[in-house]
A and B are shown apart, each in its own frame.
Chain A
Amino acid sequence: GQQVMQIPQYQHVQEGEDFTTYCNSSTTLSNIQWYKQRPGGHPVFLIQLVKSGEVKKQKRLTFQFGEAKKNSSLHITATQTTDVGTYFCAGRGNEKLTFGTGTRLTIIP
């Protein structure tokens, strides 16, 4: 079945540094979504990418969808303490949404 992996599993950064998480699918995706889950909370939808090579920005967050529609990345510029949480990608292949393994981001003040 479809598998979605993310790296790294954990990332500790100093406040103000940049952060990137990478998502790779075993199969071609029709679209990919990104979610953020704060500690003790539930996933919150951030964005969806649909087109090959698509790039979208939300303030300090930049999302990319690969040309082959099998990988994606999320980049955060100048991290802040409010960015703490686990970031999940979720790929839609055969109509089902498969969540990645997540990258847990911690910020060192």
Chain B
Amino acid sequence: DAGVTQSPTHLIKTRGQQVTLRCSPKSGHDTVSWYQQALGQGPQFIFQYYEEEERQRGNFPDRFSGHQFPNYSSELNVNALLLGDSALYLCASSRRRQSYEQYFGPGTRLTVT
């Protein structure tokens, strides 16, 4: 049984560019949450998707957007990249919108130069 997978593993982008990160949830999970983790800090909640809709959102600007597909996989898009967007982006899946247990993927390390 595959766990949460994310792609790519690492990514280097230039300021102003756009990036798309991908996540496949654990089998049987229907809810996907995205987090940003800066070095030495705890994960910061970006948003959560359930039934292909954004259900909750953290304090992130509109440059951060997402999508969930019918197979429950999800994408995180970030437009007009800033140096401060450099971080580890984590995807977490769970069984329902307010599920107790989240399974995290290995993350995508984004570096903006």
Q: Are A42 and B59 in contact (CB under 8 A)?
A: no
Chain B residues with a Cβ closer than 8 Å to the other chain, count:
21
B residues near A1, Cβ cutoff 8 Å: 59
Q: Are A102 and B107 in contact (CB under 8 A)?
A: no
B residues near A88, Cβ cutoff 8 Å: 42-43
A residues near B45, Cβ cutoff 8 Å: 96-99
User: How near does chain B come to A39, taking the closest CB pair, in angstroms?
Assistant: 11
Q: Which label, helix, strand, loop or mixed, suits the secondary structure of the B interface? A: loop
B8 lies within 8 A of chain A by Cβ = no
Q: Are B42 and A96 in contact (CB under 8 A)?
A: no
Q: Are A101 and B42 in contact (CB under 8 A)?
A: yes
A42-B43 Cα distance, complex, nearest whole Å: 10
Cβ 8 A contact of B105, one of A35, A42, A97, A98:
A42
With A43-B43, A45-B101, A97-B33 known, 16 other A-B pairs at CB within 8 A are A31-B100, A45-B102, A45-B103, A45-B104, A88-B42, A88-B43, A92-B98, A95-B98, A96-B56, A97-B45, A97-B102, A98-B45, A99-B42, A99-B43, A99-B45, A101-B42
Q: Which residues of A contact B (CB under 8 A)?
A: 1, 31, 33, 35, 41-45, 48, 88, 90, 92, 95-102
